[in-house]
Amino acid sequence: MANLPKRRCLAPPSDTTATASLDRFLESALAMADPSISIGLSLERILDSTPLQSDKESILDVATRLASALMDASKRSTRKLATAHNLSVWPLTADLTIKVFSMLDTESVCFAAATCSLFSRCASDSLCYANIDLTRSVAKVTNPIVSTMIQRAGKNLQSIKVGRLPQDNNRLDKSPLTGSCLAALVSDGGAAGLLLRKLHLHNLKMKDYNPCSALMACKNLAELEIVGMDGWLDVILRIICKYCHSIERLCLQALGECLCHVEDLTKSCPLLSSLSLRGFGIGDDILSVLIKGAQGLKYLDLSGSLYFSGSFLSDLGKGGGANSLETLILRDCINLRAREVSLFLSAVLYGDWKQLRYVDISNRKGLVVPRGSSGPRTRCAIEVSQVLQRRPDIRLIADYPSEICFYGDCTNSPSPSSDSDSGSSSSDTLSCSLIDSSSSSEEEDSYLSGARLFPII
């Protein structure tokens, strides 16, 4: 049988013709001097030649979708062109760019990521989120944003600072963040929490989730700062004593809250070198035990504290419990007595507190003295003057209201030498007033009976 020629198979329809036709259409449209007018007139002619209203509406719908698709394609092409340009002109490699971004604050990294695709890829690296700081962000920061950043940091996570810093000492300026923003520290068996070394929480809302479970996962934490989370701090302190034994710097600030477990810090946190307890109700006996037990304590800030009178200072000086202390801040402590301050300064002059280099005993309302007694006022004035003259290695800050001066005439008050290394200004201890107690007795108890209260900074 003779071989007959095979029939040619019909090829499947190809999009080549349609694509070429569309390319020619776009080339023609883009080549027009003013394509908007020409395309508009062409669309009107098509509509005029279409008799049915439904067909006209369908044509307009297709034209609208075509215009939208053309706009989106144009934007994508613009971004691709910009990315190619940035890649050609950006002088740094991707590794160096990531290293530079890792040195920026978190908000700047986010702004850089929104600039172009090149920066977005570099800013998504985990190194850029090793130190998360959103306390100064002007944009609204939400819990999912913080959680995403923690997850993005991965194994490079080192520090987290979230919340809203107080503005003009406004304690009611709460952050929109809540405790649940830290939930990512507990996920995956608390892997992220084990990596964390520094945690700052400012004015968070504790309504849906408290930070205690997150702190339990942060067993290697070296620095913790919590401000404005009243009602939780005593619980948090117990968590610190139980789980966070590597703490070196601890800063807690509240409004009149009493701490019941603060003396346990010395046993649980042997590396503690900096302690700030601002605005708490703490007695002299607890402070004496605390500081004597913290052998390596170098920095102590008790600003705005409510209860102690200052007698713990004498106990520490006699027992040598403050040999390592370099900085002592007792600013605006409500019940701080002039007599105890005088005894403390006298001990400084006689050789105690050898490592001390900075002291702040300022008070917006003055110190507490018994009514009718001028002895504590005079002795305190003399001791302040002598410390400024004989211990230039110590910077003494003692700013008080100017209505009553220690020396009678502020202009004749002695001031530290201008060439000393103390760094104290000429305003130190020049204008100082003391609060008179309402009690007529000059005994020790009269100091606390008439103490005036005032807002805490």
Taking the C-alpha atoms of residue 355 and residue 351, their distance in angstroms, rounded to an integer, is 10
Is 112 within the bounds of a domain? yes
| R_g of the chain, CA atoms, integer Å | 35
Q: Residue 421 has which token pair? A: 């290394």
What is the domain range of residue 373?
130-449
Q: What is the mean pLDDT of residues 124-138?
A: 88
- Angle of helix 311-319 relative to helix 284-293, nearest 10 degrees, comes to 30
pLDDT band, very low/low/confident/very high, at 14 (cuts 50, 70, 90): low
Model pLDDT, residue 433? 40
Model pLDDT, residue 206? 67
Taking the C-alpha atoms of residue 208 and residue 181, their distance in angstroms, rounded to an integer, is 10
Q: What is the mean pLDDT of residues 403-416?
A: 36
Model pLDDT, residue 237? 87
Q: How many domains does the chain have?
A: 2
Is 100 within the bounds of a domain? yes
Q: What is the mean pLDDT of residues 235-246?
A: 89
Domain of 149: which CATH number? 3.80.10.10
When mean pLDDT is compared across 2-16, 118-132, 182-196, the lowest value belongs to 2-16
pLDDT at 121 over 60: yes
Q: Residue 408 has which token pair? A: 């009678």
DSSP state letters, 271-295? T--EEEEES-B--HHHHHHHHHH-T
Let me know whether 84 and 227 are in one domain: no
- Residue 179 pairs with which residues in a beta bridge? none
What are the C-alpha distances in Å from 353 to residues 41, 67, 344?
Answer: 92, 79, 9
Alpha helix stretches (DSSP H) within 350-421: 375-390
Is 153 within the bounds of a domain? yes
pLDDT at 418 over 70: no
- Residue 199 pairs with which residues in a beta bridge? 160, 224
When mean pLDDT is compared across 34-38, 51-55, 403-407, the lowest value belongs to 403-407
Model pLDDT, residue 456? 26
Let me know whether 262 and 303 are in one domain: yes
Let me know whether 101 and 246 are in one domain: no
The residue with greater pLDDT, 449 or 194, is: 194
Model pLDDT, residue 453? 26
Model pLDDT, residue 408? 31
pLDDT at 228 over 90: no
Q: What is the mean pLDDT of residues 16-45?
A: 77
Let me know whether 178 and 275 are in one domain: yes
Model pLDDT, residue 402? 61
423-443 pLDDT tens trace? 333 333 333 444 443 333 333
pLDDT at 165 over 50: yes
Chain-centroid distance, C-alpha 269: 23
Is 10 within the bounds of a domain? no
361-373 pLDDT tens trace? 998 888 888 776 6
- Average pLDDT over the chain, rounded to an integer: 77
pLDDT at 225 over 50: yes
Is 109 within the bounds of a domain? yes
Is 6 within the bounds of a domain? no
Taking the C-alpha atoms of residue 153 and residue 125, their distance in angstroms, rounded to an integer, is 8
